[in-house]
Structure formats: structure tokens, C-alpha cells
């Protein structure tokens, strides 16, 4: 019995948050919820930022590259400072997952509170605050990041109370992604017959012929 108690106590120490893996250093911001520290990629857990090719509507109903904006706002907030990340697991893409802090501030919470990401976990209260103050994405109309990746005619549009009446047409229309969302995101990504992602760069023979309004096609920044 005594040996059993000691084994349970040892397991508790090994699996305690204090002993969880940590990653620290300056971060390279890849998108609104993915960073890289010392060549290790980490996905901020509990939040969903817009994709880099995602388009939203502003308070006046105009289209803007909200995915790029979310990434750039995180870059500005980071400002070259040291990140301290607590790794809690991994994902299907080989990235670590966890919560990160800059000088003691919870970055995951900051992204949601500032309106640049939605909560997919414990940050719902910050999402409520962002929506009430029309911060970031909430200043206009947008599609939840998890819906953007597989959007269709039935996709729900969310955002400010003054969402324009033509928001659905603007965000779900076939012409939405005919042009790149940003001058820096001009790589065309298509799916091959075997499911592989194929990258097409400007200047290649097939580049101009690719129809980016087809399902599965993505504008990529790198």
C-alpha cells in the first residue's frame, strides 16, 4: 500500500504543470495563432485567429485582409520581446500547443480580448468583452475561422450589430478570392489529385490560368 501511494505521488509530480515543457525566447509570428521559437512551431491553444487569406468587412462594409491584420497586430504587440510558453500537447501538423506569456501577460487572452481571435476554450469572457466594445474583427462582419476553412452558402456571418445587409454576398460570393487578400500573399495553393498541396508562383506558366474561386484553392503568403 505504501509503495502504491509513493507511485501515485511520483506520477503527480511528473505530470504537474510545474514540470510541463517550456519554450522561451523571441518569437517569429507566422499567423495570428502560430509562432516559432528556436525553429519550434507552437500553436496558441484555446484560440482561433483568422487565416492569413481570410477577408472580413470593416464597420463601413468594406473588405479588408483581417487575417494579415491579426498577424501584424500580434507582431506589434510582441515587439521583439521574449515569450515564455508552456507546452501542453501537440497537434496533427506536428506543432506544439500551449499558452504563452510576454512579461507575465497571457498572449492567448490578449488576442481574444483585443478582438483578433475567437475563443475555442477558456477565453470566452474575453470574447464577450471584445464583441461588446467592437474590437478588432468585431468592428464589422466576419466568418469564424473554423467556418472560413470550409465555408459554403449556409455559413453564418457574425460581427457587429450593424452588419451590412450584403455581408453574406460579399463574404461568400464566388468573386471574393479572385484577387489575393494582400500584396504579400500571392502564392496560389491548389490540391493535386492525390491530395497533395501544390504551390504556384507568379511567373510560372500555369499561374494565370488557375481559378482561385474553386473550392479548396487558397492564397498563401509563404
Q: Is 119:133 a contact under the CB 8 Å cutoff?
A: no
For 173-208, what is each residue's pLDDT tens digit? 655 566 776 677 778 777 777 777 788 888 787 887
| Dist. CA 209–CA 222, nearest whole Å | 20
For 61-104, what is each residue's pLDDT tens digit? 888 999 999 999 999 999 999 999 999 999 888 899 999 999 99
Q: Which helix (H) or strand (E) holds 143?
A: none
Q: Which DSSP letter does residue 139 get? A: G
The rounded radius of gyration (Å) of the Cα atoms in the chain is 20
The whole-model pTM stands at 0.75
| Dist. CA 118–CA 69, nearest whole Å | 14
Q: Which DSSP letter does residue 180 get? A: -
| Dist. CA 132–CA 161, nearest whole Å | 10
Q: Which residues contact 166 (CB under 8 A, 6 or more apart)?
A: 61
* Structural domains of the chain sorted by starting position, each given as residue range(s) with its CATH number in brackets: 21-167 (2.40.50.90), 177-222 (no CATH)
- Tell me, what's the pLDDT at 203? 79
- Tell me, what's the pLDDT at 2? 40
Q: Which helix (H) or strand (E) holds 2?
A: helix 2-14
The torsion angle over the Cα atoms of residues 83, 87, 88 and 92, rounded to 10 degrees, is 110
- Tell me, what's the pLDDT at 147? 92
Amino acid at each position: 500500500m505504501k509503495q502504491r501511494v509513493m507511485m501515485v505521488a511520483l506520477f503527480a509530480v511528473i505530470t504537474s504543470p510545474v514540470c510541463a515543457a517550456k519554450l522561451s525566447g523571441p518569437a517569429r509570428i507566422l499567423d495570428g495563432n502560430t509562432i516559432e521559437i528556436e525553429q519550434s512551431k507552437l500553436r496558441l491553444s484555446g484560440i482561433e485567429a483568422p487565416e492569413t487569406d481570410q477577408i472580413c468587412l470593416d464597420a463601413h462594409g468594406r473588405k479588408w485582409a483581417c487575417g494579415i491584420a491579426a498577424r501584424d497586430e500580434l507582431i506589434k504587440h510582441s515587439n521583439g520581446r521574449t515569450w515564455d510558453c508552456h507546452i501542453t500537447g501537440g497537434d496533427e501538423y506536428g506543432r506544439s500547443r500551449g499558452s504563452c506569456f510576454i512579461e507575465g501577460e497571457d498572449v492567448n487572452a490578449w488576442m481574444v480580448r483585443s478582438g483578433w481571435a475567437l475563443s475555442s476554450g477558456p477565453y470566452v469572457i474575453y470574447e464577450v468583452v471584445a464583441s461588446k466594445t467592437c474590437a478588432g474583427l468585431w468592428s464589422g462582419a466576419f466568418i469564424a475561422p473554423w467556418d472560413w476553412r470550409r465555408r459554403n452558402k449556409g455559413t453564418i456571418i457574425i460581427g457587429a450589430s450593424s452588419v451590412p445587409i450584403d455581408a453574406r454576398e460579399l463574404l461568400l460570393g464566388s468573386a471574393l478570392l479572385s484577387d489575393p487578400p494582400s500584396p504579400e500573399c500571392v502564392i496560389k495553393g491548389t490540391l493535386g489529385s492525390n491530395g497533395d498541396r501544390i504551390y504556384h508562383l507568379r511567373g510560372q506558366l500555369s499561374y494565370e490560368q488557375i481559378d482561385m474561386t474553386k473550392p479548396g484553392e487558397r492564397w498563401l503568403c509563404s
